[in-house]
């Protein structure tokens, strides 16, 4: 294929790009693929999850600016491009009953209208492949679910001149494939859990697996396993750059790197839609694309 390969990863908040598919992106960047992260919101309603930074008045008062700086650092580490869609974080509603979502937030936007912003980005960047979340958002955060909705509308809408006129949204472009991130899948979790226990090490996944049993979580179809173990360290470095969101001494980093690379050296995806032929399972997000100039 003579045309430049381009990958777009659509995420809800700054830090999502580093916890979902980051090693894959770093791998493709190393191969010369043009990679763009599109971040739907500024993460301004996100909690400060790193206990070392909780209670810092500057961070609390300037969380939007702080998270933008964190995103800049993570972007540099991964070697990707990044742009903001400019929507307002919806927050994660908690309580029983759940409180209403705040007015003006991303999750309350009109889906077709919100997708128009992403259509502009797709038509400008012209990705052959897009990654995002499944219909459950990966987990049921309202912004993740909304990200799924607008991405799926924009995947088709980018080639629809009637719904999104070229005069307003730019020249038509049809992405060829869209994938759901499925990095937090049960087979991987079980494999790492058992590997740790067999070595006499404490596993951080015991509670995860219990919750899976309790809620009878539906297993997703893993169609694509991208080998990217050589980029796990870059992934972790990018994740740690989101200092307000990640405790470097927390559960994210309790599995020794050598075990991760040995037991599960891939990041995993579910092919949601493709307009090119491919053979499953795949080991490349561009399978079927590289042969179609």
- Tokens in use for 289? 């694309």
Residue 175 has, within 13 A of its CA and on its CB side, a CA count of 33
Say if CB 199 and CB 259 are below 8 A apart: yes
pLDDT tier, 104 (very low <50, low <70, confident <90, very high otherwise): very high
Mean pLDDT, residues 178-193 taken together? 95
**In-domain check, residue 233:** yes
**In-domain check, residue 92:** yes
Number of domains in the chain: 2
Tell me, what's the pLDDT at 244? 95
**In-domain check, residue 287:** no
Residues 196 and 253 in one domain: no
Instruction: Tell me what percent of the residues of the chain surpass a pLDDT of 90.
Output: 83
Helix and strand counts by DSSP (H, E) for the chain: 11, 7
CATH code for the domain in which residue 171 is found: 3.40.50.10320
Residues 36 and 97 in one domain: yes
pLDDT tier, 216 (very low <50, low <70, confident <90, very high otherwise): low
* Global pTM exceeds 0.85: yes
Residues 130 and 205 in one domain: no
Mean pLDDT, residues 14-24 taken together? 97
Query: pLDDT, tens digit, for every residue of 23-46?
Result: 999 999 999 999 999 999 999 998
| Binding-site residues from annotation | 13, 16, 144
Cα–Cα distance, 67 to 253 (Å, whole number): 21
**In-domain check, residue 279:** no
Residues 227 and 116 in one domain: yes
Residues 176 and 251 in one domain: yes
In which domain, by residue range, is 209 found?
A: 186-219
> Which residues are paired to 35 by β-bridges?
7
Given a cut of 80, whether residue 89 has pLDDT beyond it is yes
| Binding-site residues from annotation for Zn(2+) | 13, 16, 144
If you write DSSP's letter for every residue of 176-187 in order, what string do you get? Answer: -EEEEE--S-HH
């Amino acid at each position: 294929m003579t045309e430049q390969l381009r990958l777009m990863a659509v995420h809800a908040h700054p830090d999502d790009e580093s916890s979902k598919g980051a090693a894959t992106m770093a791998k493709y960047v190393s191969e010369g693929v043009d990679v763009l992260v599109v971040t739907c919101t500024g993460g301004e309603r996100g909690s400060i999850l790193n206990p070392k930074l909780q209670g810092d008045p500057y961070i609390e008062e300037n969380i939007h600016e702080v998270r933008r700086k964190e995103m800049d650092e993570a972007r540099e580490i991964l070697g990707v491009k990044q742009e903001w869609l400019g929507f307002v974080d919806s927050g994660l509603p908690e309580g029983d009953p759940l409180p209403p979502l705040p007015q003006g937030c991303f999750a309350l936007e009109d889906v077709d209208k919100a997708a128009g912003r992403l259509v502009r980005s797709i038509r400008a960047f012209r990705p052959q492949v897009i990654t995002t979340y499944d219909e459950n958002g990966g987990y049921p955060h309202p912004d993740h679910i909304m990200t799924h909705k607008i991405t799926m509308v924009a995947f088709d809408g980018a080639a629809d001149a009637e719904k999104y006129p070229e005069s307003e949204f730019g020249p038509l472009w049809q992405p060829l494939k869209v994938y759901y991130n499925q990095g937090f899948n049960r087979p991987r979790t079980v494999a790492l859990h058992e590997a740790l226990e067999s070595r006499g090490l404490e596993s951080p996944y015991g509670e995860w697996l219990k919750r899976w049993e309790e809620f009878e979580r539906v297993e997703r179809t893993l169609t694509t396993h991208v080998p990217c173990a050589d980029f796990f360290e870059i992934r972790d470095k990018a994740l740690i750059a989101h200092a307000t969101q990640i405790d470097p001494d927390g559960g994210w980093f309790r599995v020794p790197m050598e075990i991760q690379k040995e037991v599960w050296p891939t990041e995993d995806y579910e092919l949601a839609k493709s307009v090119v032929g491919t053979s499953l399972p795949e080991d490349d997000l561009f399978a079927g694309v590289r042969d179609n100039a």
